[in-house]
């Protein structure tokens, strides 16, 4: 890193060389873990129009929040800022917006919101982030808690018919499923991709495919991971699966098989992709350009592959024959808000 000397957050590194040292890949903790809650106990009460969600559409952790926000109908209550998929040496930037500035926060770099919160903050700047609009301060970048809070603390602002993504009766099972998927799949692909020794890579690779096989078995005769409708667990699995063939199979060397070679997982992922709130948030162009251009440690030429062919994402999946209903007692989200459509380059 150069310029401001801003330290990259764990998984990335513009330049990526940080990831090729001899240390095992370790995800840094989320530094700002304040919670936005119904009772405002951390000083940040849920309020319509007060906060701004900052994401990169490339990022699997941020994409969880994008999907939850859509499914829950929080688009009007929690506005959205989308960063350029390519960071520079000051990290995430708003170069997709007029004058390279986020129109609501008035800042050019997400790091400005971190600095407004804590002067001289030494850690990495990461997405997803929620920023308090009136003060310009970062509230949280705790990607694990953030979506759970959207589901359980923001209920007063949910749309009518919003699904329950973290139902009390299923929480233990959801948590258990998510823990294995986080370790071996969500983070497993990063451990493989950024491994700095053959052994570390092989261990991560085996974890990824062991867990994917187990998950494929689980999903063979049930439409969703837990219960009969979509939960937080499905959102978290989806954000890795949707990137698998485009990025993780090649760039991260998770190439035992493609997603599209596992009939169950491929149909499951297509089912979700075709569900409103999932595929309509996915930008394959941002995803590919981010991983292949930013991680020059593992892709020194920065060449972005043209494939894979995305047409398959829209083919029939037949998963409705397994029963279940996507939104439980709720309904599907409405159309995307104006201006949030994914550009044609990022869609099948």
Shortest distance, position 144 Cβ to ligand GSH, whole Å: 8
> Which one of residues 143, 154, 244, 278 is an interface residue with ligand GSH (CB under 6 A)?
143
Enumerate the H helices of the chain as residue ranges: 60-72, 111-117, 143-152, 171-181, 188-193, 198-218, 232-243, 263-273, 284-294
- Per-residue mark of binding to ligand GSH, 61-90 (x: CB under 6 A): x-------------------------x---
Phi-psi region of 13 (alpha: psi -120 to 50; beta: other; left: phi over 0): left
User: Where would I find the beta strands (DSSP E) of 58-142?
Assistant: 79-82, 129-132, 137-140
> Would you count residue 328 as binding ligand GSH (CB under 6 A)?
no
> Would you count residue 59 as binding ligand GSH (CB under 6 A)?
yes
User: Using an 8 Å Cβ cutoff, are 36 and 45 in contact?
Assistant: yes
**Of 271 and 283, CB closest to ligand GSH:** 283
**Of 87 and 229, CB closest to ligand GSH:** 87
How is residue 115 annotated by DSSP?
A: H
**Of 16 and 326, CB closest to ligand GSH:** 16
* Look-up of token digits 């009766």: 169
Query: Catalytic site residue 59?
Result: yes
Residue 175: exposure state from Cβ atoms within 10 A (0-12, 13-18, ≥19): middle
**Of 162 and 208, CB closest to ligand GSH:** 208
Write out the two tokens for 216. 């494929």
- Per-residue mark of binding to ligand GSH, 29-48 (x: CB under 6 A): -x------------------
Write out the two tokens for 184. 């071996």
> Would you count residue 91 as binding ligand GSH (CB under 6 A)?
yes
> Would you count residue 9 as binding ligand GSH (CB under 6 A)?
yes
> Would you count residue 272 as binding ligand GSH (CB under 6 A)?
no
> Would you count residue 184 as binding ligand GSH (CB under 6 A)?
no
Task: Give the separation between CA 35 and CA 270, rounded to whole angstroms.
Answer: 33
Stretch that binds ligand GSH, among 70-78, 119-127, 178-186, 266-274 (CB under 6 A): 119-127
Shortest distance, position 28 Cβ to ligand GSH, whole Å: 4
Instruction: Tell me how crowded residue 311 is: count the other CB atoms within 10 A of its CB.
Output: 8
Query: Catalytic site residue 190?
Result: yes
Stretch that binds ligand GSH, among 3-11, 17-25, 219-227, 335-343 (CB under 6 A): 3-11
**Of 194 and 266, CB closest to ligand GSH:** 194
User: Using an 8 Å Cβ cutoff, are 312 and 271 in contact?
Assistant: no
Active site residues: 59, 190
């Amino acid at each position: 890193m150069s310029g401001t000397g801003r330290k990259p957050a764990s998984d990335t590194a513009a330049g990526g060389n940080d990831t090729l040292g001899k240390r095992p890949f370790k995800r840094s903790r989320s530094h700002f873990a304040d919670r936005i809650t119904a009772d405002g106990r951390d000083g940040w009460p849920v309020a319509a129009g007060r906060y701004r969600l900052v994401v990169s559409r490339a990022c699997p952790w941020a994409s969880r929040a994008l999907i939850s926000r859509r499914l829950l109908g929080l688009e009007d209550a929690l506005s959205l800022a989308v960063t350029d998929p390519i960071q520079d040496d000051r990290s995430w930037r708003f170069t997709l917006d007029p004058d390279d500035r986020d129109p609501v926060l008035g800042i050019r770099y997400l790091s400005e919101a971190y600095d407004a919160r804590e002067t001289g903050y030494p850690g990495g700047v990461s997405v997803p982030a929620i920023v308090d609009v009136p003060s310009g301060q970062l509230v949280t970048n705790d990607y694990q808690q953030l979506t759970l809070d959207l589901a359980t603390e923001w209920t007063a602002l949910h749309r009518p018919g919003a699904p329950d993504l973290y139902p009390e009766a299923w929480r233990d099972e959801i948590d258990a499923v998510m823990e294995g998927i986080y370790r071996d799949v969500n983070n497993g692909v990063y451990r493989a991709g950024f491994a700095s020794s053959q052994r570390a890579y092989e261990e991560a690779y085996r974890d990824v495919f062991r867990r994917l096989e187990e998950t494929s078995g689980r999903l063979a005769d049930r439409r969703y991971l837990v219960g009969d409708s979509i939960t937080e667990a499905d959102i978290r699995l989806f954000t890795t699966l949707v990137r698998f063939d485009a990025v993780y199979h090649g760039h991260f060397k998770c190439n035992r098989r493609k997603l599209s070679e596992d009939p169950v997982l491929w149909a499951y992922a297509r089912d979700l992709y075709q569900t409103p709130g999932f595929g309509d948030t996915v930008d394959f162009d941002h995803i590919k350009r981010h991983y292949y251009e930013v991680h020059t440690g593992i892709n020194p030429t920065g060449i972005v592959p043209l494939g894979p062919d995305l047409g398959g994402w829209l083919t029939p999946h037949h998963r409705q024959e397994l029963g279940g209903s996507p939104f439980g007692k709720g309904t599907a989200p409405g159309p995307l808000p104006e201006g949030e459509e994914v550009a044609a380059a990022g869609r099948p």
